[in-house]
Every structure is written in C-alpha cells, then in structure tokens.
Structure 1
Amino acid sequence: MTSFLPYSSSSSSKGGIGGSVRSSLIEPDGGSLVDLVVPESQRAAKVSEAESMVKVKLTKIDLEWVHVISEGWASPLKGFMREDEYLQSLHFNSLRMKDGSVVNMSLPIVLAIDDETKENIGGLNDVALVGPNDTLVGILRSIEIYKHHKEERIARTWGTTAPGLPYVEEVISSAGNWLIGGDLEVLEPVKYNDGLDHYRLSPQQLRKEFDRRQADAVFAFQLRNPVHNGHALLMNDTRKKLLEMGYKNPILLLHPLGGFTKADDVPLDVRMEQHSKVLEDGVLDPETTTVAIFPSPMHYAGPTEVQWHAKARINAGANFYIVGRDPAGMGHPTEKRDLYDPDHGKKVLSMAPGLEKLNILPFRVAAYDTVASRMAFFDPARAKDFLFISGTKMRTYARNGENPPDGFMSPGGWEVLVKYYERLQAQEENLKPTVLST
C-alpha cells in the first residue's frame, strides 16, 4: 500500500499576505533560483566580448546541460562543475554549501574538452561557448581545467562499467580527457525551434503557473514513456489522497524528460502529442494538470539518477514527488536482468541527503485487471487475474499493429503511438538495400 509521508509545515506557506496561496511551497535549493541568462540590455556587449575569446565547442547534449544550468534546475549550481563540486557530486551525491547545509546533486554536470582545446585555452581565465551550429551560446568565467577520469566517473555513476550504457556510449566514451568548470553566462534563452518550446517552462515560469492556479500542493511525475491508464490511475489516486489529507487544490506536474534518450525510446514530439491526447480524452484533468518538458538528458543510472530527477523538481516548486518501480532504470546492457534492484530507487530517495524537505510518494503497482478489463492496483490475493504490460511489450503491440487490451490506454493516445510506429517501419523499409535480380 502506498505510504504518504507527513507534510512538513516548514516547507509550506499556505497563508501569505491576505491569505493568498503561494506556489513556493518549497524553497529552491540554496534559497533562491539561479538564473544565468544575460539580461537583454547587456547582451550586445557580452556577445562582442565573447567573439574575441577562445571558443569551446558544445555538443547537442552539452547544450542541453547549458539549458538545465541556466534556468536553475540545478540550483545552486552556477555553471559546469569545478573539481571540488565534481568530486562531491561523484562521491557523496551532494554539495555542501558555505553555511554548512547540504543540497542534493547526484549527477556530475560537467563539460569535457580534448587536448587541443586545452592547449588553445592555455592559462586564460574565461572562454566562449559555441553551439553545434557554431553560434555563440555563452561565456564560462574563472575556469578550472582538471583531468577527466572516465572509468571512475562511469563506475560511480552507474555502478558498472559494462559496455552498452547509452549515455556512456553517446557522451562519455568519445569525450575529451579533460573537464572544464566555471561560472556560466548564457547569452540568450536556449530554444530548439521544434514546435515544442512553449512546453519548456523554466522553474520560475512553473512557479508562476502554480501561483496562477492557486495550488496548495504540487506533485510531480517524471516519465520518459507514453502515459497509459496505469500511470493515470496512479496520478489521479495521488491527487485523491492529497485531498483526503486536507489540501484544497493539489496540482499535478506531468513532466516528461526532454533531453537525450536512448534510441528505442519514443521520441519527445510523439510523447508530447500522446500526452495531449490523454488530456483530451479526459484520462487526466487539464484543470488540475500542468504539462511541461523537463530539459535534462537521461542517464539511465537508476537510484543515482532518480535523486537528480527529484531534486530538480524541488527547484520547480514541487513539494511532492511520485516514485515508482525501478525509476531511471534499464535492463542490464549485456545480461538478461534489470541493471538495478527495482525497489532501491524509492528507498534511496527516502534517505538521500538534501532531499529531506521533499515528500516522497512511493506508488502502488498498477497492472491490467483482466476481470474488470481496466488498469487497477495489483491485488496479490488474485495475482492470476492481472497482466503486466511492460514498456517493451507496449512498443511491440504498437509496432505490430496489435491493439492492447481495452482500458490499457486512451484511444487517442494509442492512435498516436500506432501512427508513429507505422511511419518508423516505412522509413526502415525505405532504408533497406535494393536487391537486383537478373
């Protein structure tokens, strides 16, 4: 059964001036949100300065991290990590502030450079950052360059150095042998121009939205997959529980991950269209749900990464965080088993340093009830009546054009997935080499 932690009055402010409800139910880490985007009035001067600096080229995923840092998701971090921050993150999953307090920081947020770039920088204090398309992105000041011990980073972040870890293969293996840290200034807000930027609300914008909705509790749900009715059951049940606890207007933050994901995950644009259909079909209530994109890349690092997912939502104003089975986990890359214990994520969150002010909501397992023909909370007393449909099984249904059992997913949401896999199969067919016969 789901256990709800008691709400901490120290992280709440229901009263406020004139009795109004504030969305800042939980303070951002460090006491205030970091905002590293240069004010428009200073932009021209900063651009001119950056043009004369030594340039450091960013990858697409580096740019996603610039986005994350600049908007305050990693508050109180103010740039790519210097070595002392990196070592604290890597070995303690947290950072100690000057006042002695501790904030959670379970993933190193670092920028790698190669030998040639390090040589070009020499003894300079500041460098300019340019994006994958060579446009100026920002300035990194008071820099520090230190060795990139890749094996140590991989082993401590993932708990394994087995080949086939998606983020490692995409980002770390080919990265330079040095890390560069410093204070970040971003020349203008990061935009992707993919038709989804209106969903990319910053922590500050989300807090304002929760104010507008007069939320007295915000509960966040992190996901990187399409929403099925089991997810919806969980989210709706959480809201019901919060109402029973005395809250008047708890708001759901449905917050899909928008950065790097592995190749077989459903792409972001398809997921956002699917989420939209789920709300249109009334499976989730648009009046009590805020849908936004979380811009972080995905590591698939299990209990280590789930701390990052929870910590970032503190900065967005969420004071409750839903955690399920094997959060941020994946199958072992070389063996037929889960990489992480499926229960360790929620256990780690309940004990993690720096997350004490966040209420963790472990959820009950949902599965397809073959008797009731709907998604329901699993009842061990009649286990044979329940069908577990994994993400892999769901993708197999859609890829093969098979329908899942009635009541598994909203019809509109399922149609989005089927059309995506039809397009994908057509593309795969077009890429097959033509066989000429004589």
Structure 2
Amino acid sequence: MINLTTENFLDLKYLATKVFSPISGFMVYDEYIKVVEEMQLLDKSIWTIPITLEVDNIKNYTVNKNYDLYYNNSLVGKIHIRDKFIIDDEQIYEIYQSKDHEHPGIKKEKLRSSHRVGGEIEIKEELIKNSLYKNIVKHEFALINQKVQTIAGFQTRNAIHKAHEYLQRLALEICDGLFINPLIGWKKKGDFTQEAVMGSYNKMSNEFYPKNRVFLRGLETRMYYAGPREAVFHALLRRNMGCTHFIIGRDHAGVKDYYGIYQAQELAKKLDKKYDLGIKLLLFKEPYYCIKCKQIVTQNTCDHYDTFRVAISGTEIRNALQNGIIPDEKFMRKEISEVLISLGKDNIFIRE
C-alpha cells in the first residue's frame, strides 16, 4: 500500500475529476522530465508543473502491479504502477528557476521524498462528490444565469484588497461572468489562512458583486510559488473547469523578488502564441492608488505612476490587520477588514 500526503490526495482527486486534464494519472518519468525540461506532456500538450506521487522507497514497489492508496488510514483508491524513479535537485531548480533553498517552493519540495511512482489511478466515488470537476464553472453559471457565455477565472491566495477588486471588476466588463477561485491548499507561513481568504470573498460576493454573474469556490491544491510556470498551470486548470478567460496580473504566483513582475505574463503570452493554451489571457498592469486621480488606476489609465503613485502594499495591510487596525480604505474595504479582524490575530495568517 501507499500512504498519501495531503498534497498527493488532493492531486488524486483532481486527476480523477479531470481538472488536471489531459493528465489522467500520476506522471511516469518520461512525462515528468518532458514537463520539467520542455513544459510539455508526451502528447505535446502544454503543461508546466509536474504531478507526481511520492513514496518512501521505490525498492518497495513493483512496476505493473496494483497498490492500494491510503489517506489518513482510510482506503481511498488504487494505482497501477507503470514506472518508478528518483528526481534530483537540478530538476527541482529548473521548475523554480532558482537554486535558493530558502525559496518556499524549493523548501517544500525538499521536504518530500525524491522517490516517485507513476501510473493509472482509481478513486472511491464518494470522495469526489463535492469536488471541482471538468467544466464545473459552465454548469454552475447555467444554473444561475444562462446568459453567461464568457467567464473570467481569477486565482488568488490572499484576502481581497482594492487592487484585486479593480482587476475583477475590469474582468466583469469584458466577460459575462467571473469565477473567483481562491487557492485553499498548502501555503507558506505568513500567507492568509483559508478562513481569512474565503471569509473575505464571501463578504465581497454577498454584498458588493452581482450574484448572478459571480461564482466563488475554493481550489484545493498547494501553492508552488513557481511564478511564470505556475501562472500557466493556473490558467490550464481554469480552462479545464470551463473558464474562457484567465486573469494574470503582476507577479502572478511569485514570492519576494525571485521573478520579474511581468515575467508570468510574458511566459503565458509566449506559450499561448506557440501552442494555444485554449483560454484567452487577460494580462493586466499593476493597479495602484493615484493621489492626483484619487482612485485605483494602472499605468494604462493614469499618467502619474512616477509622481503620485501609492502602491497597494500587502505588507502595510498585513501589519495593520495583525495589530487589529483597519487598514487604509484606499487599500482594503472596511467591511473586508472587519471580517478579517473578527477572526482574531492568530487566525488571519498561517503560523507554521
């Protein structure tokens, strides 16, 4: 048998529900290395993040044999192993475009076993009844508003602030619907908790957005902090779920200064031109507050970037919330701040 980590269990669910389509099982070595080196699957489909199953020691497993999959001491499915292999550090560095072991994605990867197996999977049907699945977004909008044909997907790991609100409202001017899909899997210390992210978006959806044009649902997968590669990965998942458009903003899936602020947009645009990602990209500039214009703007709509720009600082927002203080309303709505502060300072941000 194989005991699954939380991340592997979540991957198993999305493999089964085709959110990771066209991947249908954990990757074999040839597919893994092609994704690492060329950002493609063996069938030439674009794919940027490897989906692999870790085990304690590959010597304990036999190729072309079935093994039960357990999670939290319960049988959840099976795998027919087609391959077993060991990954190395250079492959990890290629994915993250860094060799810094303080990079949160690399640090997380180094905690995993380097021993991997790949093959076809099965899962107990009851475990995916309430999971995201292929084309779920089209289905959900058909239930609430049949006029919705174009849908913009929005990825986030943060509680909503005015910059993200600005991007979402822009998307609603372009598309019929908006799918807000916060990531609620593993994130690094200091990021917003699941309760904070979903609480803020529930408040925003219920009180400020048109209910028949916005659909909110969490994405149960881990953050990789892989910047450009992860931005494309996020776009592919939303394509699979039925979005027609996907928003990529400033430093998408980035962390600290490991990636250029528009590097994710550049890679997504390049790959889309070469291969066609199957989803239209909404590539927006960084929103900021302009003192002269007295509103949230971007470089495309304001001529005061160098003179009157006030960045919407995540650090300032976090420091205020941590001290029970309502952040500047230019940066975050008071109603959202109150939801977050009501959680208590120990529950706003991830502690470990």
2:34 corresponding residue in structure 1: 88
Provide the aligned length of Structure 1 versus Structure 2: 344
2:48 corresponding residue in structure 1: 106
Rounded Cα–Cα distance in structure 1 between residues aligned with 2:135 and 2:275: 21
1:169 corresponding residue in structure 2: 107
What pairs up with 1:404-419 in 2 under 5 angstroms? 404-419=327-342
Shift of 1:343: 1.2
Q: Select the residue among 250, 255, 258 that pairs with 1:325.
A: 250
Amino acid corresponding to residue 47 of structure 2 in structure 1:
M
Larger relative contact order (Cα-Cα within 8 Å, sequence gap ≥ 6): 1
Amino acid corresponding to residue 280 of structure 1 in structure 2:
N
Shift of 1:395: 0.7
1:253 corresponding residue in structure 2: 179
Rounded Cα–Cα distance in structure 2 between residues aligned with 1:180 and 1:112: 7
Rounded Cα–Cα distance in structure 2 between residues aligned with 1:401 and 1:371: 30
1:129 corresponding residue in structure 2: 69
Shift of 1:299: 0.3
Which one is further off, 64-73 or 200-209?
Answer: 200-209
8 Å CA contact retained: 1:225, 1:391: no
1:251-283 residue CA offsets vs partner (Å, 9 max, x unmatched): 10111112111111111122111101112331x
User: 2:289 aligns to what SS in structure 1?
Assistant: strand
Shift of 1:175: 2.7
2:92 corresponding residue in structure 1: 154
Amino acid corresponding to residue 336 of structure 2 in structure 1:
G
2:136 corresponding residue in structure 1: 205
8 Å CA contact retained: 1:93, 1:106: yes
1:324-373 residue CA offsets vs partner (Å, 9 max, x unmatched): 11111001xxxxxx100111110111111544432111113211233565
8 Å CA contact retained: 2:27, 2:119: yes
Alignment partner of 1:376 is 2:307: no
User: 2:212 aligns to what SS in structure 1?
Assistant: helix
User: 2:164 aligns to what SS in structure 1?
Assistant: helix
2:117 corresponding residue in structure 1: 180
1:346 corresponding residue in structure 2: 265
Amino acid corresponding to residue 270 of structure 1 in structure 2:
A
Amino acid corresponding to residue 150 of structure 2 in structure 1:
A
8 Å CA contact retained: 2:163, 2:312: no
**Over alpha carbons, which structure has the higher Rg?**
1
Which one is further off, 77-86 or 397-406?
Answer: 397-406
* TM-score, normalised by the number of residues in structure 2: 0.90
Shift of 1:189: 4.4
5+ residue gaps in structure 1? 1-54, 192-196, 243-249, 332-337, 429-438
The percentage of aligned residue pairs carrying the same residue is 24
1:139 corresponding residue in structure 2: 78
Alignment partner of 1:224 is 2:149: no
In structure 2, the CA distance between the partners of 1:259 and 1:107, relative to structure 1 (3 Å rule), is same
2:211 corresponding residue in structure 1: 286
Rounded Cα–Cα distance in structure 2 between residues aligned with 1:90 and 1:403: 43
1:372-426 residue CA offsets vs partner (Å, 9 max, x unmatched): 654333523364333112222211121123332234322221112223352449x
Rounded Cα–Cα distance in structure 2 between residues aligned with 1:189 and 1:264: 34
8 Å CA contact retained: 1:105, 1:308: yes
Rounded Cα–Cα distance in structure 2 between residues aligned with 1:253 and 1:403: 27
5+ residue gaps in structure 2? none
Rounded Cα–Cα distance in structure 2 between residues aligned with 1:62 and 1:298: 13
8 Å CA contact retained: 2:63, 2:81: no
Amino acid corresponding to residue 56 of structure 2 in structure 1:
D
Shift of 1:206: 2.3
* TM-score, normalised by the number of residues in structure 1: 0.73
In structure 2, the CA distance between the partners of 1:345 and 1:123, relative to structure 1 (3 Å rule), is closer
